[in-house]
């Protein structure tokens, strides 16, 4: 990376200067103490390093230090200048030229780090209950998770994507009971969910179970309740487990279908139920008991999570003998570790914040390293309709992810869900996401890609004058364009290198953006970057005509267009947003 090159030049110079005793009382320099930054004012340079912090050790004024350091540097065709304690750097043609060449050479792998400590990562996200359709909040985790998976894979890690199905516990009973009511309704019985609020909480009164009920009736060939005479097999169709199993399977099917449609691909759906059946949950409880971390109180078993930094101890087996949600979750995380993953990354909604400490505590209590678990807490999503916030989380007014995608499309939904810092509450404005105007960043970016494609098409197409019927030959033959791309010569870009400097630097920034994004797990930086790159490209396009009579200039600019297209493609691939050829 150019900034690393610059930093290395400076650090080498400092070491030489110290050796010569030119930096006053400074006797040694440890690499990494200085870092590059972006100058506030673009006129200063492309990158800058502030050496003021060395003044304390050297006991020399910062400008003097800066000048001394610069005097030890061979600038090649780059430019170094000193203002106060800042050393500014202007990138020369060689580095710019090499950047474009690198894009052509590495192509799909442009931006992938050379050497990186790769890990075997299990990324868990969405993990919704199979009790209903996804709401828009799930959409945020789905989008962010899948982008993060793509990014980490690109970065070099081995990533295994998993969805934990909460298919055990009381909510499944609730689901079965709710389906029973819907089925009876469909069969003509005058029955409805309780109106009393506390009783109603034992049901899922949403409409989404109606089609499920219809399907249940159809498959089982039920005609009416009346035909279920006493003693015949009809009762069997209202068996609680039979109903809940059916509803659960149906919900899972719909969820999986939606995820695929939303370009989210899990390697595995891990059922909580199988975890119980395998005996792994009991095994974990036993291990905790053996290590003396369990005690009894009020008829329940408590885990001493407070020994490991949790606020208080947690119940692990209720007084009625059943397990809590946490119990299975402990076993699940231990199972992940036993499957040999170096790192577990979970994306959880901020409403699960209280769970972090207790799960980490359990991992530590069982003798594993809690630092292997990295939990990304995402703030929730607010839906904005006509400028008014519609709070999510409440069952009423629930907008499903399905509805949202149908309304605004997969591309826009993915982009909007991924474009904000995970720490901020996301306002999803449906009207804005739907527009095809400048207000919508997705279209802005896609337009840049379509524009690049369009230029490349025009370069090799003959032009027809509609009035005279006259044909002008194509500015460039297809073979020439193929040759330009496939056996790219680094010198090609030179004619336009001055006018394209900002754009090339932005292309170069892709590498540091990827690094930063992968290391901080913040995927929104990719969305920002892609907008910035599109902006630089549009700007370049308006200022410089690509197709012209000056063939060398045209080739230079076409090469740049190809480079932009490649990088946009790579970035959009990670976002799993389409890069259209035409719009």
Partner RNA sequence: GCGUGUGUAGCUCAGUUGGAUAGAGCGUUUGGCUACGAACCAAAAGGUCGGGGGUUCGAAUCCCUCCACGCGUACCA
Site for RNA in 36-55 (CB under 7 A): 37-41, 44-45, 48, 50, 52-53
Under rule CB under 7 A, residue 88 binds RNA: yes
Encoded tokens for 295: 């005690």
Query: Which residues from 264-293 bind RNA, rule CB under 7 A?
Result: 272
Residues whose CB falls within 8 Å of the CB of residue 86, separated by 6 or more in sequence, listed in order: 39, 44, 48, 49, 50, 51, 66
Under rule CB under 7 A, residue 388 binds RNA: no
State which residue, 292 or 321, has the beta carbon closest to RNA: 321
Whether the Cβ atoms of residue 511 and residue 519 lie closer than 8 Å to each other:
no
Q: Which of 84, 188, 211, 309 binds RNA (CB under 7 A)?
A: 84
Residues whose CB falls within 8 Å of the CB of residue 104, separated by 6 or more in sequence, listed in order: 485, 488, 559, 562, 563, 566
Count of residues touching RNA (by CB under 7 A): 86
| Rounded-to-integer distance, Cα 410 and Cα 392, Å | 20
Specify the stretch interacting with RNA by CB under 7 A; choose among 85-93, 220-228, 229-237, 242-250.
85-93
Query: Which residues from 232-261 bind RNA, rule CB under 7 A?
Result: none
Q: Which of 353, 395, 471, 478 binds RNA (CB under 7 A)?
A: 353
Quote the least distance from Cβ 186 to RNA, whole Å: 27
Burial class (CB in 10 A: 0-12, 13-18, 19+), 197: exposed
Quote the least distance from Cβ 552 to RNA, whole Å: 15
Under rule CB under 7 A, residue 583 binds RNA: yes
Quote the least distance from Cβ 151 to RNA, whole Å: 16
Backbone angles phi, psi at 320, to 5 degrees: -85, 5
Pick the closest to residue 189 from 230, 225, 231, 227 (CA basis): 225
State which residue, 451 or 555, has the beta carbon closest to RNA: 451
Pick the closest to residue 104 from 451, 456, 493 (CA basis): 493
Whether the Cβ atoms of residue 345 and residue 124 lie closer than 8 Å to each other:
yes
State which residue, 95 or 376, has the beta carbon closest to RNA: 376
State which residue, 12 or 499, has the beta carbon closest to RNA: 499
Q: How much of the chain is in helix, strand and coil states, percent to nearest 5?
A: 55, 15, 35
Quote the least distance from Cβ 420 to RNA, whole Å: 5
Under rule CB under 7 A, residue 535 binds RNA: yes
Query: Which residues from 501-520 bind RNA, rule CB under 7 A?
Result: 512, 516, 520
Query: Which residues from 64-83 bind RNA, rule CB under 7 A?
Result: 83
Under rule CB under 7 A, residue 545 binds RNA: yes
Query: Which residues from 476-495 bind RNA, rule CB under 7 A?
Result: none
Distance, CA of 186 to chain centre? 42
Pick the closest to residue 501 from 73, 5, 94 (CA basis): 94
Quote the least distance from Cβ 453 to RNA, whole Å: 7
Distances from the Cα of 453 to the Cα of 128, 531, 547, 558, 568, angstroms: 40, 17, 13, 10, 11
CA geometry: angle at 206 spanning 202 and 210, to 5°?
Answer: 110
| Rounded-to-integer distance, Cα 34 and Cα 81, Å | 17
| Rounded-to-integer distance, Cα 285 and Cα 323, Å | 10
Under rule CB under 7 A, residue 177 binds RNA: no
Quote the least distance from Cβ 185 to RNA, whole Å: 25
Query: Which residues from 295-334 bind RNA, rule CB under 7 A?
Result: 297-300, 311, 315, 318-320, 322, 324-325
Q: Which of 35, 198, 466, 487 binds RNA (CB under 7 A)?
A: 35
| Largest Cα span, the chain | 103
Query: Which residues from 416-475 bind RNA, rule CB under 7 A?
Result: 420-421, 423-427, 436-439, 441, 443-444, 447, 450-451, 454-455, 458
């Amino acid at each position: 990376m150019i900034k690393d090159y610059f930093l290395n030049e400076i650090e080498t110079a400092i070491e030489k200067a110290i050796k010569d005793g030119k930096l006053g009382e400074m006797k040694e320099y440890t690499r990494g103490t200085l870092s590059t930054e972006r100058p506030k004012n673009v006129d200063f340079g492309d990158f800058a390093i502030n050496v003021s912090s060395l003044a304390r050790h050297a006991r020399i004024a910062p400008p003097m230090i800066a000048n001394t350091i610069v005097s030890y540097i061979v600038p090649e065709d780059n430019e170094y200048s000193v203002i106060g304690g800042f050393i500014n750097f202007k990138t020369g043609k060689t580095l710019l030229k090499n950047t474009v060449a690198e894009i052509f050479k590495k192509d799909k792998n442009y931006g992938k780090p050379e050497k990186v400590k790769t890990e075997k990562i299990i990324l868990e996200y969405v993990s919704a209950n199979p009790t209903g359709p996804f709401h828009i909040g799930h959409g945020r985790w789905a989008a962010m998770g899948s982008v993060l998976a793509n990014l980490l894979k690109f970065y070099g890690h081995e990533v295994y994507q998993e969805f934990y199905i909460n298919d055990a516990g009381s909510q499944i009973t609730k689901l079965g009971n709710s389906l029973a009511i819907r089925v009876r309704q469909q069969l003509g019985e005058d029955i409805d969910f309780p109106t009393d609020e506390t009783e109603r909480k034992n049901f899922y009164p949403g409409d989404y179970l109606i089609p499920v009920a219809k399907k249940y009736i159809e498959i089982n060939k039920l005609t009416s309740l009346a035909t279920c005479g006493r003693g015949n097999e009809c009762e069997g169709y209202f068996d609680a487990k039979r109903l809940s199993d059916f509803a659960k399977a149906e919900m899972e099917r719909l969820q999986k279908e939606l995820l695929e449609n939303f370009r989210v691909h899990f390697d595995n759906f891990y059922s909580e139920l199988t975890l119980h059946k395998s005996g792994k949950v009991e095994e974990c409880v036993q291990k905790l008991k053996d290590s003396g971390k369990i005690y009894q109180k009020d008829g329940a078993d408590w885990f001493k999570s407070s020994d490991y930094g949790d606020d208080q101890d947690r119940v692990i087996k209720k007084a009625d003998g059943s397990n809590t949600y946490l119990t299975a979750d402990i076993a699940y995380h231990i199972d992940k570790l036993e499957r040999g993953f170096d790192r577990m990354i979970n994306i959880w909604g901020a409403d699960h914040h209280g769970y972090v400490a207790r799960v980490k505590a359990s991992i530590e209590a069982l003798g594993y390293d809690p630092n292997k678990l990295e939990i990304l807490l995402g703030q929730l999503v607010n839906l904005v309709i006509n400028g008014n916030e519609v709070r999510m989380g409440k069952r009423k007014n629930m907008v499903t992810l399905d509805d949202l995608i149908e309304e605004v499309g997969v591309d826009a939904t993915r982009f909007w869900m991924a474009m904000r810092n995970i720490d901020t509450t996301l306002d999803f404005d449906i009207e804005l996401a739907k527009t095809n105007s400048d207000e919508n960043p997705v279209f802005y970016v896609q337009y840049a890609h379509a524009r690049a494609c369009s230029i490349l098409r025009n370069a090799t197409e003959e032009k027809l004058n509609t009035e005279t019927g006259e044909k002008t030959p194509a500015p460039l033959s297809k073979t020439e364009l193929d040759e330009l791309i496939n056996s790219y010569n680094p010198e090609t870009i030179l004619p336009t290198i001055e006018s394209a400097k900002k754009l090339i630097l932005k292309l170069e920034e892709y590498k540091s953006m990827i690094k930063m994004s992968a290391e901080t797990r913040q995927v929104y930086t990719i969305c920002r970057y892609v907008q910035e790159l599109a902006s630089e490209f549009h700007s370049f396009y308006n200022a410089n005509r690509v197709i012209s009579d000056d063939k060398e200039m045209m080739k230079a600019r076409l090469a740049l267009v190809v480079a932009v297209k490649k990088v946009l493609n790579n970035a959009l691939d990670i976002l799993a947003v389409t890069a259209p050829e035409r719009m």
